[in-house]
């Protein structure tokens, strides 16, 4: 009798645990309803994997229908987030990009980590790659002397300070700012924007650093940025630490507002230092993104080796197509800042 009761409880647990995991997994698909659901969506891959593992005992106990239903649901959820990704790339390696007849440029994106003790590795990476533009996050006071040393090579720059100890965002460029435009900072180092001249063709470069998802202020960050992106046109690259996964409502909203799309080929870029570095490929999250507009082409992105941060560097190779006839002047857009912030 006791044995039978114990067996019943074990079978109940074998069914109940996957069911409980399915609740947040399903709710994560309704991120547009509430930011809390979007926050849960960030763990979709982890919840689906756990659901598959916890459904296996049900199969061994003969509960085929329950176990298979849980596994099918988990696999369907995984199919929405998994995509072929390239093997980890080392700095300096690349793959050939189809020639487009236009000059090719390079953009390096990196969340520095404000207390990174391997600052020399970052500077060495920049020297090795010689990117045309660099977008940075967590540019704390500890980092400013290092970048002051390379300002001769990157004379066009904007630093957006933050009241937070982790520092702000920055854009460093070897290319001049487009004539008649002035780089701008948005919010408390929420974003930096600069229109850069790439050999007669300009493109807006934006460096973003969003807060964590709900219950933090990520949703509010998106609403603060939306009016700026909706007013900007022409070639655009939005790069940064979004603190959001590609399938989240947050990334979707930024892409829709800026009329951009995500560059394919990115792999997990966060949780890569310390003891978890080796496991990052499996349990890490792709929180760093590069979004591009239709007139940015010839794209190839690499996820590079660690340089002391808990985020991996991203290197984008791209070309700028067309003319500037339909580009909204960045300065003109930013002059509406007061009108934007005064909206009820």
User: Is 309 among the domain residues?
Assistant: yes
Residues 227 and 270 in one domain: yes
User: Is 97 among the domain residues?
Assistant: no
Residues 186 and 244 in one domain: yes
Residues 187 and 232 in one domain: yes
Residues 136 and 252 in one domain: yes
Residues 50 and 174 in one domain: no
User: Is 86 among the domain residues?
Assistant: no
Residues 120 and 48 in one domain: no
Query: 53 is in which domain, residue-wise?
Result: 2-79
> Which stretches of the chain drop beneath a pLDDT of 70?
1-4, 6, 83-100, 265-266, 271-283, 322-344
- For all residues of the chain together, what is the average pLDDT? 84
Residues 10 and 113 in one domain: no
What's the pLDDT score for residue 3? 57
Residues 133 and 279 in one domain: yes
Instruction: For the chain, give the secondary structure using H, E and C.
Output: CHHHHHHHHHHHHHHHHHHHHHHHHHHHHHCCCCHHHHHHHCCHHHHHHHHHHHHHHHHHCCCHHHHHHHHHHHHHHHHCCCCCCCCCCCCCCCCCCCCCCCCCEEEEEEECCCCCCCHHHHHHHHHHHCCCEEEEEEECCCCHHHHHCCCCCCCEEEEECCCCCCCEEEEEECCCECCCCCCEEECCCCEEEEEEEECCEEEEEEEEECCCCCCCCHHHHHHHHHHHHHHCCCCEEEEEECCCCCCCHHHHHHHHHHCCEECCCCCCCECCCHHHCCCHHHHCECCEEEEECCCEEEEEEEECCCCCCCECCEEEEEEECCCCCCCCCHHHHHCCHHHHHCCC
User: Is 89 among the domain residues?
Assistant: no
Residues 69 and 121 in one domain: no
Write the pLDDT tens digit of every residue in 210-231.
999 999 999 999 999 999 999 9
User: Is 95 among the domain residues?
Assistant: no
pTM over 0.75: yes
What's the pLDDT score for residue 90? 38
Residues 63 and 112 in one domain: no
Write the pLDDT tens digit of every residue in 161-213.
999 889 999 999 999 999 999 999 999 999 999 999 999 899 999 999 999 99
Q: Which of 79, 94, 118 is the last residue of a domain?
A: 79
User: Is 123 among the domain residues?
Assistant: yes
User: Is 277 among the domain residues?
Assistant: yes
What's the pLDDT score for residue 87? 36
Residues 30 and 130 in one domain: no
The count of structural domains within the chain is: 2
């Amino acid at each position: 009798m006791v044995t039978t009761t114990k067996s019943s409880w074990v079978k109940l647990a074998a069914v109940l645990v996957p069911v409980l995991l399915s609740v947040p997994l399903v709710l994560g698909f309704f991120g547009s309803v509430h930011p809390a659901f979007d926050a849960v969506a960030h763990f979709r891959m982890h919840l689906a994997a756990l659901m598959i593992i916890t459904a296996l005992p049900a199969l061994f106990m003969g509960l085929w229908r329950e176990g298979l239903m849980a596994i099918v649901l988990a696999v369907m959820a995984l199919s929405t987030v998994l995509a072929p990704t390239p093997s980890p790339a080392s700095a300096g390696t690349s793959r050939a990009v189809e020639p487009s007849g236009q000059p090719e440029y390079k953009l390096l994106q990196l969340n520095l980590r404000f207390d990174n003790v391997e600052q020399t590795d970052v500077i060495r990476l920049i020297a090795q790659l010689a990117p045309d533009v660099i977008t940075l996050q967590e540019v704390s006071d500890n980092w400013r002397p290092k970048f002051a040393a390379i300002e001769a090579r990157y004379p066009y720059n904007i630093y957006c300070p933050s009241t937070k100890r982790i520092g702000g965002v920055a854009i460093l460029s070897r290319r001049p700012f487009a004539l008649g435009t002035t780089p701008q900072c948005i919010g408390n180092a929420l974003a930096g924007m600069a229109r850069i001249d790439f050999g007669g063709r300009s493109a807006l470069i934006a460096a973003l650093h969003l807060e964590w998802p709900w219950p933090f202020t990520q949703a509010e960050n998106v609403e603060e940025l939306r009016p700026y992106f909706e007013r900007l046109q022409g070639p655009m690259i939005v790069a940064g630490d979004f603190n959001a996964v590609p399938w989240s409502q947050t990334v979707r909203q930024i892409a829709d507002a800026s009329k951009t799309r995500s560059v394919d080929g990115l792999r997990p870029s966060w949780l890569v230092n310390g003891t978890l570095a080796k496991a990052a490929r499996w349990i890490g999250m792709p929180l760093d993104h590069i979004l591009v507009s239709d007139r940015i082409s010839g794209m190839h992105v690499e996820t590079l080796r660690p340089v002391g941060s808990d985020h991996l560097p991203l290197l984008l190779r791209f070309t700028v197509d067309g003319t500037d006839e339909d580009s909204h002047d960045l300065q003109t857009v930013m002059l509406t800042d007061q009108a934007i912030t005064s909206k009820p």
